[in-house]
Amino acid sequence: MALGVRKLSFALGAEITGLDLRRPMDAAAAAEVRRIWLDNLVVVIRDQDITPQQQVAFGRHFGPLDDHKSLPFYRLEGVPEIFLITNKLVNGKPSETKDTGRLWHSDHSFTTHPTMASALYCKEIPEVGGNTLFTNMYSAYDSLSDGLKKLLDGLEAVHDIRDYAPFRSRNAEQRAEMHRINPAVAQPVVRVHGETGRKALYVSEALTFRFVGMTEEESAGLLKFLWRRSVQPEFTYRHEWRPGDLLMWDNRCAMHMAPADYAPGQPRLMHRITILGTPCGRLYSEQSTVRAAA
Ligand code: OGA
Ligand code: MN
């Protein structure tokens, strides 16, 4: 099957044409999507008119789907594989997912089974904005000097959900529960991609504040440099959503963030599926301290 491919930016991202996901994808088409996705880190299939079940069927071509126990918010009624990201009221209350992804991150890096891929299907989007930004972490790693690469290759960093700034405003009970479900983990600072064999930086401003074996103060300078380097404009792609876009990214080699770049009153609704990954990192048992609230 010949699919069309159009690159969306120099750094990462490609649009795939020639698919209608109302019809089941065959194995050959799925293999081609996977190849395009591995080459481009982010793929977008536009103008799709699919049901939640059809989105789930698409995701299953790439691996088993997460049931979202590590972030136990909204699942679509009857389709627990679909997680709702929305600023709309849910059961008359402000949505728990309205500020999802405000800082750069890679999904579920705070677990020992981080998500391989996430795919959002855009249902509603504000008149302007509501964009999502992506960055290529292979490029970030490749851009470093040999000396720094060598230093980083042997390091691990702590990823702890309690350090995630937007969660600090949640109540103590909710935070304790989040930590119980997701104890701190140590992840390699340089992650080797299981399919491409390429090295990618794997630290984020959302979740990484210290290297294993170092204090937060000692780690801060180098981590800040890495966060900044990771998101240099030339490594990024900014997606302007249209309803009907299905976009899938690779969490092993890309980070993403969703700025609050839209009028708060305007509805934004995404249906997300999360494709499970292979184990990465280890539980971090050393006594870990919570960062003082800023
Ligand atoms: C996510 C996420 C960003 C967005 O789904 O993991 O960070 O644009 N979402 O909604
Ligand atoms: Mn995310």
Question: Considering the domain boundaries, does residue 167 fall inside one?
Answer: yes
Return d(Cα 19, Cα 33) in angstroms, integer. 10
pLDDT at site 292? 41
Question: Considering the domain boundaries, does residue 294 fall inside one?
Answer: no
Return d(Cα 196, Cα 236) in angstroms, integer. 20
Question: Considering the domain boundaries, does residue 113 fall inside one?
Answer: yes
In the structure, which protein residues have their CB atom closer than 6 angstroms to any atom of ligand 1?
A: 85, 100-101, 107, 118, 120, 132, 256, 258, 270, 272
Question: Considering the domain boundaries, does residue 293 fall inside one?
Answer: no
C-alpha dist (Å) from residue 168 to 10, 34, 47, 128, 176: 36, 37, 38, 29, 11
Question: Considering the domain boundaries, does residue 206 fall inside one?
Answer: yes
The beta strands (E) that lie in the chain are given as 4-7, 14-17, 42-45, 75-76, 79-86, 117-124, 132-136, 156-159, 185-188, 190-192, 199-201, 208-211, 236-239, 246-250, 254-257, 269-275, 282-283
pLDDT at site 176? 84
Q: Which of the residues 107, 160, 163, 245 is marked catalytic?
A: 107
Question: Considering the domain boundaries, does residue 257 fall inside one?
Answer: yes
pLDDT at site 264? 87
Question: Considering the domain boundaries, does residue 292 fall inside one?
Answer: no
Provide the residue range defining the domain that includes 20.
4-284
Rounded to two decimals, the pTM is: 0.94
Return d(Cα 205, Cα 188) in angstroms, integer. 15
Pocket perturbation via mutation, ligand 1, pick of 84, 85, 97 by most ligand atoms within 8 A of CB: 85
C-alpha dist (Å) from residue 257 to 29, 62, 237, 290: 29, 23, 11, 23
pLDDT at site 71? 65
Single out the residue of 175, 149, 153 nearest to residue 291, CA to CA: 175
The domain that contains 279 carries what CATH number? 3.60.130.10
pLDDT at site 1? 62
| Residue 272 designated active-site | yes
Q: What is the pLDDT along the chain (294 residues), one digit of tens a residue?
A: 689 999 999 999 999 999 999 999 999 999 999 999 999 999 999 999 999 999 999 999 999 998 776 666 788 888 999 999 999 998 899 998 999 999 999 999 999 999 999 999 999 999 999 999 999 999 999 999 999 999 999 999 999 988 888 777 778 888 888 888 889 999 999 999 999 999 999 999 999 999 999 999 999 999 999 999 999 999 999 999 999 999 999 999 999 999 999 998 999 999 999 999 999 999 998 654 444 443
3 state DSSP class of 235: helix
What is the count of structural domains for the chain? Answer: 1
DSSP summary character for residue 233: G
pLDDT at site 68? 74
Question: Considering the domain boundaries, does residue 290 fall inside one?
Answer: no
